Structure 1
Amino acid sequence: METMISVWTVVEHVRVASGAAEVAIFTAILYWFFTSSRVADMLEVLGERVGGWCGRESGSLRQAVRARRRQQNADMYAKLDADVAVRTTSLYRVKESPVVPAPQPETRPPAGLACGRCAPVSRDSWHDPKIEDSGTVINVLDIGRQNFANSGVISRYFCDLAQCFNLVKFQYKDVIPDVQKDPAYIKAIEDTTEEELKKTDLNLDEKGDGDNRNSAGYLTVKKRVEARAKKVLTDISSAMSYNILRVVAWLTHKAIRRVAGGGCGTRAGSVARLRRATAAGLPLVFVPLHRSHFDYILVTFALYLTGLRPPLVAAGDNMRIPFFGWILRGCGAFYIRRRVDGSEHNGDPVYKAALRSYIINSLAANNNLEFFIEGGRTRTGKPQPPKAGILSVIMDAYLDGTIDDALLVPVTLNYDKLVDGNFVREQLGMPKQMETFWSALRGIWRTMNTNHGSIRVDFNQPISLKELVQSFKKYNHFKAPIEAPLGPADDKFSSDLDRRLLYNHSHSSLYGDDVSTDHKMMVEAIGRHIVYEGAQATAVMCTNVVSYVLLTEARGGAGVRRAVRARGAALRAEGRDLAYRADPDRCLEHALEMLGPLVQRERRTETLRPTKSIAAELELSYYANTLVAHYAAPAIVATALESIVCRPDADGDTVRHQELLGSALQLYEVLSEELILCAPCHTIHETLLRALDQLLASGVLVNAERTDGLEEEKWSRRFAKAIDDEEDDGYERPDPTLRIKYIIQKTPEAIAERRRLLLTLRPLIESYSASCRHLAPGTVKSVVKATIDGLVHDYTTNKMPYGAAVSSDAVRNCLRLLRQWGVIEMYTDNKERKIRLRPPYDDAQKLNDICSHIYKFNVDSPLLREESAT
């Protein structure tokens, strides 16, 4: 009983407590209801309407309540009235004042457009004419954030992962069965079998011909050759995996966010053009200029995230390293040997046939393709002459009707700070270190702990291969026969220089049998066109501008900030795409952060100058060479001008037009291994004439005879085209350029411009001169080492102030030039490349005479002495 009473007591207490709680909650609700401004306003409106229905004056209750509130909260209502008055005044001012448009984003100049001379149809295609390309750059890392901005919480937080795992899945056909049925592949196996039988002790009758090919000896050798061919084909082929591609895309997302604080940008208009070109149903052939190992994944990454079909990528077999090679193969890489001829694989017909058949059948299956036309990575930062091997295979596929057409897409990549580090060791003549698993791990670790600034991946307009072939057949400066090999030019115009340069470079181990010289030269011309267009469309990073200024305009350290600002404005006016848009001073600080110890900075005077070392100048020259390629033509003319002015008997005030252009042509012939001056659809002479016009516009030169100078220049342009040198009556018109003269200006601005252009090419000319001085019979390695040692000695003893001249690439290019001139001969002995002098250049005097064609441009100019003094 007591228990029941206790329970009942507890229940009563709970009821009392719950009742008190209910009363408290009800009281709080009533308080909120009658004190809330919204409820009060609602009651006022309701009371006003009820009063209206009852016949009372409208608004009296509401006005009474407001009046009482204003008395209680006078300060608050005064502030509210002031805010209303301000808004009313602002609205009135906006309505009555003229409409001011909203600020628009800064537009960029058009870049990456197809050549208007040889690809006009491609230039007008692949874009929507109703939409103007403003040059907007998008960060591919932000695509996922934008696509999943309005999705769920998990998708927004894991936007990178969601973007990579929701992209389109593309199908890739296995082309190995088609390659094994290819007649060229089968024929290569049969020919190799016969060649191996000839090297054995088997009786040739046992091998048999025709019906006797079922003999045991023949079948044994053929089986061995087929097994080797199958292994070659397996090593070549790609293994594109959608799952690997998604995982690598996600990892690349995270890696780029860590190493590239400025993101990875690409032009929005370029992506739109690629989408329209993809709809045409033709295979796209992406042709990047090669700067870093990161290029392999970066191009695929940018295409994949923008919803485009990733290509099969031709990678060097040096990248076939454990684990990482498997990942690259899963991302579409197929491996090719770095050298087919000139190595232990010399003349391997099975490998050549397998590679050609694999590429052709991949294109026939409508797979996109990617290959680096320069071969390996550029060690100097300048675009390298093309390697026409894979391009020749694509040309064959088009010419034999395997594909109707292909769209070539030049691709350019640039970095604020190179991901792979620098190439100083190799430029100093040390052998290249082969890629290994552990070196790859060390490189990844080092990269992930370094800020590399911004990255740009840009795609040029797709160019029809069919249109290029048809256009190049029309140019007369490629049609005349080659009368003489490339050699030192005389004082006359080198009218066939364009043709001879193509002829001397058009060699490839992947050309098919019975390929004509015209065909080889056309492939070489298309390759040079792609490299030139890609170099001109490369986005200019702030480190490129600052490095160029430090090595040319402000070597002494004075006026760097002003020069950087002026150079950026000049590049923008010339149509180059600057990859930075911030204040020039902020860009300079960012560039100095990226360059780090390469630049010395005096805090007291704020003076900036390159660090005094060969390694620092070599690395700075790598970044500066992006602009060296841009200023190559006017720099050649300015250097030729200096070589004329510094002659002992020269007139230091005037120079003749013909003499200046002739000297410039000779200089470009010397530097033809270093620079691609123009697209092959333009002649070198025309390009140098345009560069001369730039010197006239900048005030370096002035026409001596202003009255008839314009007419004479018109005649010179007609003469340069060389269409018809004779009149109808047989009378040959005299060369009108003989009377054109230019006055050399001596103003401080003109002298500064001449010095800048002179320093643009000076390190290269120093390297070439040193190569000629140290030329001697021996191995190529010993000649290169002797030249590098001589340059290092000259630099350390202050005889030569240009650390960037210590470049093994420039030395080797000079040796190639001397071989083309017939001065030296290269041969292989005991697996070593050796050099010997060819008669009559084994005589010291004869050798010095021909090397004088290089020495004469390495002049001791007063402009350089003034620069050293400052």
Structure 2
Amino acid sequence: MADGLFEFVVFGGLLCWIFSDSLRAMVDVLSTRLQEIYSRWETRGLKTHQSGVTPHLQQIVNIQRNRKKEISLRNKEAVKQSLERQLFQIKEADWTPIGESQPRPFVGLSCTSCTPSSRNSLIDRSAKNASLIDVLQVESLDNHPDGILAKIFPHIAHSVTFQAFPFPYIYDTVLKNERLQEILKDVTTQALEESKVTSDESAYSAMYRRQQERAVRLLKGLRSTFSDFILRLGAWVMTKVMSRLFTSVVVHPAHIDMLKKASTTGLPLVFIPLHRSHFDYIVITYILCYNNIRSPLVAAGENLRIPVFGWLLRGLGAFFIKRKIAAVQGRRDILYRAILHTYMTECLRAGHNFEFFIEGGRTRSGKPCMPKGGLLSVFVDAYIDGTIEDALLVPVSINYEKLVDGNFVHEQMGEPKQMESFGTALKGIWNAFTSHYGIMRVDFNQPFSLRELVKSFQSKLVLEINNRSNSIGSEGKTLHTVPSSASLYGTDVVIEEHRQLVDCIARHIVYDCCRTTSIMSTNAVSFLLLNAYRNGVKLDTLVSAVDSLRQELHNMNRDMGFSGETIDVVNHALHILGPALVKRERDVESGCVMIRPITMLPNVIELSYYSNCVIPHFILEAVVATALKSLMSEGSTYVKNEKILEQAQLLCDILQFEFLFTKTCQNLENVLSETIDNFVTTEILTQEQKLLTEEEQQSMRVAAQFDNFEEENEYSHHSWEKQPPYQVNKNSERYKLYSFILVPFLDVYSITARNLHRFVSQLIPERDFIKVVLNDIKVQLDAKIIHCGESVSVDTIRNAMKLFERWNVLECHTKDKIKVYYLKENYDNESSIESVWNRIKQFR
């Protein structure tokens, strides 16, 4: 009762605040209207007395004219002074993006290899280049209502009038599900066996009732309570909130048109965004409801089920799931997984759209995390077992000029995560309202058919499996899954082919999202400062570098989250980042304005968060450049193509838990070979040209035709040709930039490998080993052995430990909810550990 009264009081206070804001808005509008009427009346009065103006009135007019002249002169002087200071001071007023009406390219088309039919659907080719729209300006929407009230109160009018959709409540359907009933019986039998109670009818009935009661509690805890009223109220409130926090929330109009067409297909839409902020939960719902598209059910972490805010999120479509499904009495919690799986399946059958975050949690480093396939496997299961005919998957990229949730510096430095609570939520809201966060950019990828993607990957995986087993027959194998509402991918044992299928789809989705994430101004400036101008740079040089980066990304068919004159873009980014991350100062000797990144701990970790967003766009270039640097460290000035490929593939293997280097349907060696060819085009690599006779040239042309055929069949690129060695242009600015990008990551991997000797003949908990590695990194930073403060990163250490597990160097077991590591038998000695370290340190 007390909790309900508390929520009622808080909710009532929220409504009072909202409606008081509306009353203030009404007063402002009425005041403005009265002033306009008075101005028109005054003007008409002056015009009617032009033939005979009274001296007193003429004197007033002259005074007003003189005052305007004085103001004009003062303004001109102020502009002059501002222009003189613009190279040194950043203007404090909010920056308005210049040239927002410029057409932006359409990014995010689906894969030509995996989903060719989807790629040719839902797209209006004539609208691929269009100006971005700010979704906070509802007056610009096509479905904006007309009328006087709509013009005065546009957000209220639109919140009241946007289309209502039915949201079926499937609570009873889940509890009556036949598969769930079977699971309840199995769980009851298992519980009786563990309790060693005589299995008579009364004991079975009592245990069955307890399991039923638990199923009801679990379902009530995770279910969504979608409310049309809360959705409309939330849309209005979020307009007010986001207008206060952001300059604009922009989206490509062709993306909206594409989603509108997809919503008419009758298939469920599954939105799969990368996860950066808590705002991600509601911004997609906000955009969809304002464009009359059915809002999705959103999978949210159970940590967000807090008073008031959890209730509001439920009303907006959130259902709460556990991030880690803990064991019950030493066994897997089969009943919880069954409830979750059945709930999602029944929601799909009822026609709900969905939204979930394939990375699991928010990225702590700024770059995308490796995908987790648990929830995705539910949708794959639902298609394969015939629950749904098909679904449209929609990868989504969301990026911010400045992160609203604050930074993750303390977590990266080894401190435990601070759990969400009502108090921390209020504190976060207060801090948010006292800052400004620039632009939010949302990019929806082209929806593609789950059925088409599954069939595409099935055929490729079946071919690969059959080739491995040398048993290719006329019938072949068919991928399938055991229909069971008791298992979610990643928590129970499933068929290996199904696991590979889900992994392939998940990695493809994350790769697509990485490549379509728009680069914000803060990302571009941070990336250049940390990787190219770590010791400082002149302002005009930085502006030129940002120009070059924009052009390079444009050539790669990537989009920017900003537009306008580059000098304004750079100044704006420096303003958003603030003096804690970047410093502007005038060089005493040259008199030029210098921009320097703050590279001391902990500030540099936050700066690297913004920089890391750009790395996936240049990861292949970084890999090849780092491979070249490792080969040249041996003293040779020439490198052979096959050695570059060998080193680059080894480096990709080392960083397999940090980055996705290719789409699932691509061959890594082919892609690396194309990158080497691009290095030749950009003159990072040069090669002596050999003069050939006509017969040799003809042979080369014939061989090239065979090479093209081999490349289509995923054979190695240029495998037929013995190429002369390359010479590396060490003075190339691009080479210097690319070769530095991976330095912080390789420092962490090398130091982690060097500390593996601590595991010899003993077990160490994960958290203790991470502390040891962090301390070693800090010691080497103080001793100037390594130079990148952003190497202090818990996430990177964990990824290195995952790599050593994959290499069968480390073994991990969980004991009392604590991860414990120890060395495999073959590596439980100093010499074997040394070989692992040598494999990594060659790239440092």
Please show how residues 205-244 of structure 1 align to structure 2 within 5 Å: 206=200, 215-244=201-230
Residue 446 (structure 1) shift: 0.5
Please show how residues 763-842 of structure 1 align to structure 2 within 5 Å: 763-775=744-756, 776-777=758-759, 778-842=764-828
Partner of 1:126: 122
Question: Does the Cα contact within 8 Å between 2:192 and 2:204 map onto a contact in 1?
Answer: yes
Find the aligned partners of 2:718 and 2:250 in 1 and give their Cα distance: 55
Question: Does the Cα contact within 8 Å between 1:188 and 1:353 map onto a contact in 2?
Answer: yes
Question: Does the Cα contact within 8 Å between 1:635 and 1:761 map onto a contact in 2?
Answer: yes
Gap change, CA 1:832 and 1:105, over 3 Å in 2: closer
Does 2:98 align with 1:114? no
Residue 816 (structure 1) shift: 0.4
Find the aligned partners of 1:226 and 1:630 in 2 and give their Cα distance: 50
Question: Does the Cα contact within 8 Å between 1:658 and 1:737 map onto a contact in 2?
Answer: no
Residue 481 (structure 1) shift: 6.8
Find the aligned partners of 2:775 and 2:375 in 1 and give their Cα distance: 37
Gap change, CA 1:149 and 1:815, over 3 Å in 2: closer
Q: What amino acid sits opposite 1:742 in the alignment?
A: Y
1:86-141 CA-to-partner distances (Å, cap 9, x unmatched) read: xxxxxxxxxxxxxxxxx995322220111111111111101235x33213211001
Question: Does the Cα contact within 8 Å between 1:658 and 1:738 map onto a contact in 2?
Answer: no
Q: 1:632 aligns with which of 605, 609, 619?
A: 619
For residue 774 of structure 1, give the secondary structure of its aligned residue in structure 2. helix
Gap change, CA 1:512 and 1:807, over 3 Å in 2: closer
Partner of 2:161: 166
Residue 735 (structure 1) shift: 5.1
Gap change, CA 1:216 and 1:291, over 3 Å in 2: same
Residue 638 (structure 1) shift: 0.8
Q: What amino acid sits opposite 2:110 in the alignment?
A: A
Please show how residues 405-424 of structure 1 align to structure 2 within 5 Å: 405-424=390-409
Gap change, CA 1:269 and 1:345, over 3 Å in 2: farther
Question: Does the Cα contact within 8 Å between 1:700 and 1:745 map onto a contact in 2?
Answer: yes
Does 2:567 align with 1:585? yes
Question: Does the Cα contact within 8 Å between 1:415 and 1:456 map onto a contact in 2?
Answer: yes
Please show how residues 373-522 of structure 1 align to structure 2 within 5 Å: 373-475=358-460, 479-480=464-465, 509-510=488-489, 515-522=494-501
Find the aligned partners of 1:831 and 1:270 in 2 and give their Cα distance: 44
Please show how residues 478-627 of structure 1 align to structure 2 within 5 Å: 479-480=464-465, 509-510=488-489, 515-558=494-537, 559-596=541-578, 597-604=580-587, 605-627=592-614
For residue 473 of structure 1, give the secondary structure of its aligned residue in structure 2. helix
Find the aligned partners of 1:154 and 1:760 in 2 and give their Cα distance: 54
Residue 512 (structure 1) shift: 9.0
Q: What amino acid sits opposite 1:845 in the alignment?
A: S
Question: Does the Cα contact within 8 Å between 1:409 and 1:459 map onto a contact in 2?
Answer: yes
For residue 475 of structure 1, give the secondary structure of its aligned residue in structure 2. helix
Partner of 1:22: none
Find the aligned partners of 1:841 and 1:381 in 2 and give their Cα distance: 34
Residue 482 (structure 1) shift: 10
For residue 553 of structure 2, give the secondary structure of its aligned residue in structure 1. helix
Find the aligned partners of 2:338 and 2:801 in 1 and give their Cα distance: 32
Residue 741 (structure 1) shift: 2.3
Q: 1:319 aligns with which of 287, 292, 304?
A: 304
1:619-639 CA-to-partner distances (Å, cap 9, x unmatched) read: 111111111011001110110
Q: Identify unmatched segments of 5+ residues in structure 2.
A: 1-47, 53-98, 470-486
Q: What amino acid sits opposite 2:127 in the alignment?
A: E
Gap change, CA 1:351 and 1:560, over 3 Å in 2: same
Gap change, CA 1:580 and 1:313, over 3 Å in 2: same
Partner of 1:500: none
| Identity over aligned pairs, percent | 35
Q: Identify unmatched segments of 5+ residues in structure 1.
A: 1-31, 37-102, 207-214, 485-507, 726-732, 859-870
Does 2:832 align with 1:846? yes
Residue 264 (structure 1) shift: 0.4
Residue 511 (structure 1) shift: 6.0
Residue 825 (structure 1) shift: 0.7
Does 2:841 align with 1:855? yes
Residue 713 (structure 1) shift: 7.3
Residue 152 (structure 1) shift: 4.5
Q: What amino acid sits opposite 2:237 in the alignment?
A: L
Find the aligned partners of 1:464 and 1:233 in 2 and give their Cα distance: 30
Q: 1:666 aligns with which of 636, 650, 653?
A: 650
Question: Does the Cα contact within 8 Å between 1:414 and 1:457 map onto a contact in 2?
Answer: yes
Partner of 1:700: 684
Find the aligned partners of 1:345 and 1:607 in 2 and give their Cα distance: 60
Find the aligned partners of 2:144 and 2:820 in 1 and give their Cα distance: 63
Question: Does the Cα contact within 8 Å between 1:292 and 1:418 map onto a contact in 2?
Answer: yes
Gap change, CA 1:361 and 1:560, over 3 Å in 2: same
Gap change, CA 1:147 and 1:795, over 3 Å in 2: same
Find the aligned partners of 2:802 and 2:100 in 1 and give their Cα distance: 52
Does 2:738 align with 1:757? yes
For residue 168 of structure 2, give the secondary structure of its aligned residue in structure 1. coil
Partner of 1:182: 177
Cα RMSD between the aligned structures?
2.7
Gap change, CA 1:735 and 1:165, over 3 Å in 2: closer
Gap change, CA 1:685 and 1:288, over 3 Å in 2: same
1:238-287 CA-to-partner distances (Å, cap 9, x unmatched) read: 000111111111111011111112x1001100000111111110000000
Which piece of structure 1 moves more, 316-325 or 509-518?
Answer: 509-518
Does 2:725 align with 1:741? yes
Find the aligned partners of 2:355 and 2:176 in 1 and give their Cα distance: 24
Gap change, CA 1:641 and 1:341, over 3 Å in 2: farther
Gap change, CA 1:476 and 1:296, over 3 Å in 2: closer
Which piece of structure 1 moves more, 618-627 or 374-383?
Answer: 618-627
Question: Does the Cα contact within 8 Å between 2:100 and 2:563 map onto a contact in 1?
Answer: no
Gap change, CA 1:590 and 1:105, over 3 Å in 2: closer
TM-score, normalised relative to structure 1: 0.78
For residue 456 of structure 1, give the secondary structure of its aligned residue in structure 2. strand
Residue 714 (structure 1) shift: 7.0
Find the aligned partners of 1:576 and 1:784 in 2 and give their Cα distance: 37
Q: What amino acid sits opposite 1:568 in the alignment?
A: R
Gap change, CA 1:110 and 1:557, over 3 Å in 2: same
Find the aligned partners of 1:343 and 1:736 in 2 and give their Cα distance: 59
Residue 836 (structure 1) shift: 0.8
Please show how residues 647-726 of structure 1 align to structure 2 within 5 Å: 647=634, 650-652=635-637, 654-707=638-691
Question: Does the Cα contact within 8 Å between 1:702 and 1:744 map onto a contact in 2?
Answer: yes
For residue 338 of structure 1, give the secondary structure of its aligned residue in structure 2. coil
Find the aligned partners of 1:612 and 1:110 in 2 and give their Cα distance: 36
Gap change, CA 1:722 and 1:126, over 3 Å in 2: closer
Partner of 1:191: 186
For residue 326 of structure 1, give the secondary structure of its aligned residue in structure 2. helix
For residue 474 of structure 1, give the secondary structure of its aligned residue in structure 2. helix
1:519-550 CA-to-partner distances (Å, cap 9, x unmatched) read: 21111101111111111111110011000000
1:760-802 CA-to-partner distances (Å, cap 9, x unmatched) read: 1111101101111122231101111111111112223322110
Q: What amino acid sits opposite 2:785 in the alignment?
A: K
For residue 614 of structure 2, give the secondary structure of its aligned residue in structure 1. helix
Which piece of structure 1 moves more, 777-786 or 369-378?
Answer: 777-786
Partner of 1:276: 261
1:685-740 CA-to-partner distances (Å, cap 9, x unmatched) read: 12212211221121111233455797687776666666689xxxxxxx99535444
Gap change, CA 1:735 and 1:273, over 3 Å in 2: closer
Residue 839 (structure 1) shift: 1.7
1:271-306 CA-to-partner distances (Å, cap 9, x unmatched) read: 001111111100000000000011101111111112
